[in-house]
Amino acid sequence: GPGSGKGTQCERIVKDYGLTHLSSGDLLRSEVESGSARGKRLKDIMERGELVSLDIVLELIRDAMTNNASSRGFLIDGFPRELEQGVRFEKEVAPCQFVLFFDVSEAVMQQRLLKRGETSGRVDDNEATIKKRFHTFQELTKPVIEHYRQQSKVVQIDASGSVDAVFSQVKSALESRGL
């Protein structure tokens, strides 16, 4: 979910495991920063807490993977956001080994995001947009977790504790999956 700590944990994972971290949200934000016409449209969608069309995100991720083709593995943060995105990704790009799900209450996520919003400058770190991001997460992204749970690919992490406490669970999960 928004503010669950995906970016924070991915940075730690990359340091210890040498995977390539691709954040779908960061890729979209750099497209916005490029100042292109498409970037302007993306900014409006993100400001509303809605999802950008899956073709755009798929293309950004595919390009980023191609540019790092020699990587030992990819850690894709904040993705897939909707069921069809995951199905298309696995069909057109690569199969998914497993999914890390950072489970934490909306109250905690909101608190983290509002705190970050004091300095982040992110267009979506405000109370109104956070509410919409939670709604999008419940409606569109939760079914993705169920989809991968049925395939026994979900590793659920209690993400309510400190960054270190969360990371120690992540480490055991990755090591039990052979990383």
Q: What residue ranges bind ligand UP5 (CB under 6 A)?
A: 2-8, 24-25, 28, 45-46, 49-52, 57, 78-79, 81, 112, 116, 124, 133, 162-163, 166
Write the Ramachandran bin of 78: left for phi over 0, alpha for psi from -120 to 50, otherwise beta: left
CB of 53 to Mg ion, least distance (A): 20
Residue 106 contacts which entry, Mg ion, ligand UP5, none (Cβ below 5-8 A, type-dependent): none
Name residue 77's beta-bridge partners.
23
Residue 79 contacts which entry, Mg ion, ligand UP5, none (Cβ below 5-8 A, type-dependent): ligand UP5
Q: Determine the residue with CB nearest ligand UP5.
A: 25
CB of 72 to ligand UP5, least distance (A): 23
* C-alpha–C-alpha distance, residues 97 and 140, integer Å: 21
Applying CB under 5 A, which of residues 1, 5, 7, 49 lies at the interface with Mg ion?
Answer: 7
- Residue closer to ligand UP5, measured from CB, 107 or 152: 107
Strand, helix or coil at 175? helix
> Could you tell me how many residues of this chain bind Mg ion (CB under 5 A)?
2
Indicate the DSSP class of residue 18: -
Q: Which of 49, 11, 42 is nearest to 28 (CA)?
A: 42
Q: Rounded to 5, what percent of the chain is helix, strand, coil?
A: 60, 10, 30
CB of 153 to Mg ion, least distance (A): 21
- Residue closer to Mg ion, measured from CB, 112 or 174: 112
* C-alpha–C-alpha distance, residues 142 and 58, integer Å: 19
Q: Does residue 117 touch Mg ion according to CB under 5 A?
A: no
